[in-house]
Structure 1
Amino acid sequence: MPASNVDFQECKQTIKEAHGARLLDILNADRKSRQILCDGKLCCKGKNYFVHKCVLSSFSDYFKTMFRTEMREKYEDAIILDRISHDRLKVILDYLYTGYVEVTADNVFNLLEDAEYAQIEELKRHCSKYLLEMITVENCLRVRAYSKRYNLPEALEKCNLTFADDYMLLFNHEDFGNLEVDDIADLIKNKKRECSEYSVFCAIVRWVRKDIASREELFADLFMLIDLSKVSDDLLNEIRVEELVRNNIQCSNRLVDLLGERILLPAPDLVCSPSGNVAEFDGVITQPSFVLIGGRASSCQCGIYDTKTHQYRSLPMLSHPRYAAAAVTVGEKLLAIGGSSFHTFFTASHKQVELLDLNRPDCWKTLQNLNEPRRALAATVIDGLVYACGGRSYSTFYSSCEKYDIQADRWNSITDMAKRRAYHAVVQLDGSLFCIGGHDGKITLASCESYDLQKDSWATFNDMNDSREGLAAVVLDGKIYAIGGFNGTRQVATVEAYDPRTDEWSYVAPLNVVRSRHGACVVDGKIYVAGGYDNKSAPLRSVEVYDTTNNKWTVEFDLVKANLLISLVAV
C-alpha cells in the first residue's frame, strides 16, 4: 500500500533533521579534537576555543553580523572576547553546536545575559519558559527586573500577576530597594487587588531612604501616586510627621488640604475621656496617673490617664514616631527614647530622644541622640541617670547599652550585656539594673542579668520559669514582676515574681487576658498593665490592675483606642 503524501513529508523532515544534527555532531567533535575544519578561534580570558564561523553565524546574530559584514573579525583567525567569562562562553558554544543546555535556578540569569550579548533568541526563549515555571512571590522582583531588561513579555506579565497576590510581601522584600523609580511607579499603578495605601507609602519611604541622596527628589512624584483618600485618620497623622513629606512643599500641601477637609487634628490643649467628654487642659497633672506614649495605633501621640476617673487627657504631639520606644521620668522630666515609625518597623530604628517638662507640658524638646539607633529597647533610671539597654535596628539585635546624663545632655556607652536582647524588660532595684528575657535574634529568652554600676559589669541571675519576649516588668515591694509576653510559641497570661533575697522566681496570679508587647507601671501601690497583643495577635484596649494584697488581677477600664508596643510611665 503506497505511503500517503503526509507520511512522506514527515519522513523527509525527519531525515532532514537527523542529517542536520549529524552534521553538527561532526563539527562539534571536530572543534573539540582535531580542529581540521575549524576556521576561527575565540580567545577569552586566557582560554582558546576553536570554532566554525558558519555554525556561530547560523545561530547567533552577534556572530552573523561579525562574520557576514565588513568587520575586521571577518578576516581574523583569532577573535578576542572579553565581555564574558571563559566558562560561560563554553556553555554558549556547547549550546550553539548541540541546541541543548540545562537551565537551572543557578544559571538562568547568566544564560539570559549571555544570550542577549550573543543575540541568541532561541536560548532566550528557553530561559523565558524556565522562568515562567519558577516565578514565586519571593523571587518575582528579580525575575521581573531581568524580564524587563531582556524583553521577556510573558515572564514580565506573570510577575505582575504574582505581585497582585501579595503586595505586602513584595513591599518588604529585600530586593525592593534595588528597583528603579519607573519600576516602583509601575507597581503602584498596576495594583490589581486591594492593597493598603499606607503600605504603599511605607514602601516608598523605605525605597527613598535606601539612597536618599539621589532618590529624595523622586519622592514627590511617587507620593502623588498614593490614593490618600483611602488612608485612615490615624495613619494620615503618621504620614504627616514623616520628614520626607514635611520637607517637600508639594507633598505637604496635598496632605494639608486633605487634613483640612477632614478637620482631622484636634487642638493639642483639649482632653477627652473614653466616654467622649471633652474639656480644656488646665496644665495640672492629677494624681495618681500614668502617661501612655506612642505605640502602633498612635505613634506620635502622648496622653495621661487618671487611674481614679479613667479620664484621658492628651499631651503635645511627639516630634518623632515612638513605636516600640522606651520612656522614663527623671524628676518631673518625661523622656521618650528611640523607637521607630510604624512604616519602618521592620527595617530602620531611630536615635532621637526628646523631653517633655511635666510642670510645663507645652512642647517636646529635642535632646542628644542615642549612640545607636534602637527600637524594642528597654530603659530605666538610677540616681538620675538614664540607662538604655539592647534593642534592635534592621535585623541587628544589640547587647550594647548606654547611659544618659540629663545635666550634660550626653550619652555614654557602658559594658555590653552578656546576651543580645530586644523586646525585653529593664528595671532598677536597690541601685542595680536588672535585664529580663527578650529575644536575641534567634530564640526567646528566659535568662536574666544584672548590672553593677560600680564595677561596670554584668552578672547572670536565676532564669525565669518561662521564656518571654514582649513582656513588661515592674518593681513593687522589693520584688520584680515579669508580666505576660510571648514564650516562643504563643502569647501568655502568666506572671512571675523574683525575690532577690532568694534568687528565685515564683508564679503569682495570671492576667485575665493573655498579652504581649504591652506596657506596665506601678501607680499608687498597684501594677497597671495596658494594651498589647492578645492570643489572636489582635491589639488590646483593656487595662488590668494587680493588687498584691489579694493576689488578683482586675480589668478596670479601656484605653481610648487599642494599642501595642507602647510605653507606660507612672507620673
Structure 2
Amino acid sequence: MTIHSRAVMESNGCPRVSQQPGHWKTPDSLRVNIDGSSFLVDKTILCENCEYFRALFQSGMRECEQEETQLQCVGIMGFLVLLRVLDREQPVLSSDQIVEAIQCTAFLQVPALTEHLINIINSENCLLMYHTAATYGVWKLSHSSALFIRDMYADLKEDLHALPNKLVDYIESLLPSSYVAVCSHSPSTELLQDLQRTVCYLDEEHREWKVLTHLPVSTSTTMAGVAVLDNKLYIIGGVHDVSKKVVETGFCYNPAANTWSTICGCQHLRYNLTLLGHEGCLYALGGEYNMKALSSVERYKVSNGSWGFLSPLPCPAALVVSAVAMNRIFVCLWKGKGATDIHEYVTERDQWLLVTTLTREHSYGLYMVAHKDNLYVMRNGPCDDFLLCVIDCYNLSSGQWTAMRGQYGNSKGSLLTAVVRGDSVFTLSRQVTTEYTIEDYQWRVKRESKGFGRIGSIYTFLMRLPKAAVSPVRKSPNLPQNQNLRDCPRLSPQCSDIL
C-alpha cells in the first residue's frame, strides 16, 4: 500500500499538511518513505515543526538536496498522527497510536505532537503514556503523565504494580494537587485585621478545611479576578468597598516560598472580571467599570511583566464563564431567552470563534468545567426549582450536546463553582464539600467533607502545596501601601519585588 500526502493552502496562504490521494508535488515537497509506504509532504512544514528535519536540512550534507528520505525508527501510524497534528487536528488516539506517536515525537523531536499527547492524557491511557514516554525519553510527556497519576493515586494505586519501581518512586515523590478556596474579602488594615481573610485548602484525609495563608491587608477578592498559573495564585482587580473603587495592584502568592508579591494591575481598571491562567499568561476577560460591562480583554505575560490588549469579547460581559479543554480556551456568553453561546479564543490568530449555542428555556450558564474533550455547562434549573443545577455536556470531538441525567445541588447549595482533578470534580457550599466521579453522562457522588463555612462568593482552584506551605501560617503580610502602581509603565517588568 502506498499512502500519499500533499500540501494544501489555507485561505490565508499558509501551507498545511494533510493526507490526500494523488501525486501532486511542488519544489518544496519531500517524499518520506516508511516501511514500504511513502508520504509526500511539505519540507518547509517539517523543518518548522520537527527538530530532526530542521537539523537534517541545515546540516550542509547531501541530504539537504535530496527529494526523498527514509525513516527507520518511525512507524506509519505514528507518522500519520504527526501529519494530522500538524494539520491542526486534535485526534483521540488508540493505545497503538499512542505508542507509535510517542516513538515518532521522540525520534523526530516534534513539540506540537508532544503537546497534543499531553493534552489527551486521561485515566485510561496515563500509565501507558508515562511508561512509554519514560522509555523513549520524552521527559515533558513523562512528567505530565506522572503528575496526572499522582493526582489520581488512590484510584490507580492497584495498577501501579505494572510499572518499574523507579517510575513508581518518581510518582510518589511528586506533590499532589490540593483543592483550594478563598471567599470574597475587602481590604483590611493592619490595626483591624480580619482573621477570616484567609486562603484555605481541603485536608482530604481529615475531610476538613485548613488555613493555607492570610491575604495581604491591601488585597481585595471582592469582585476580583482569581486564577492559578504555574502553581502561583494571582488576584487582579477587586473593589475596596460599596463605592466599587478598584484595587489597582495585582497580587501573587507563591506556595513554594509561602510569600506574596505585587504586580501591575490591568491597563483598563475593571471588577467582576474573569481571570484565566494559560501557557505562561494571565487573561483578564471582560468585567465592569463604572457600572458598565466591558468587552475588552487583556493578557499579562509573566515572562516580561507586561499587559497588552487582545481582540475583545464578541459582546460586553461580566463574570464570564470560562474553561480550558484540550489546551483550548472557551467562554460562555449568555444571549438571553435561554441561549448561551460558547466561543473559543484562538491564541495564534487572536480571534474569537463561535463554537456552538446551547438553548434551554428559563436558563443561563452558571459555570463550566472541562474533562477530557468534554465541556460541562452547569446552569440553573427550571423556574419551579431554580436552586438545582442541570448539566449539559458538549463533546468537542463530535460536536454534540448531551443532557446529563439528574439534577445536582439541593438545600445545602448548588454547583456555583467546581474544579476538575483527574476523573473527579470538586464543588462546595457552606454546608458541604462534595467530590463527584465524572462518568459519561452522570456525576456520581464519591465522598463528602465539611463545607466551606464562609459568607460571600467563593473562588476555587487547584494548587500543589509543599508540606512547608501547609504548616502553621504566618501573619498577614503587610505589602507596601503607598506605592502608586498606576504610575508604573504597563509594558515594563514586574512592578514590585517579592518581599
1 or 2, which has the higher helix percentage?
1
Larger RCO (CA under 8 A, 6+ residues apart): 2
> Which protein shows a greater Rg?
1
Higher fraction of strand: 2
TM-score (norm: length of structure 1): 0.43
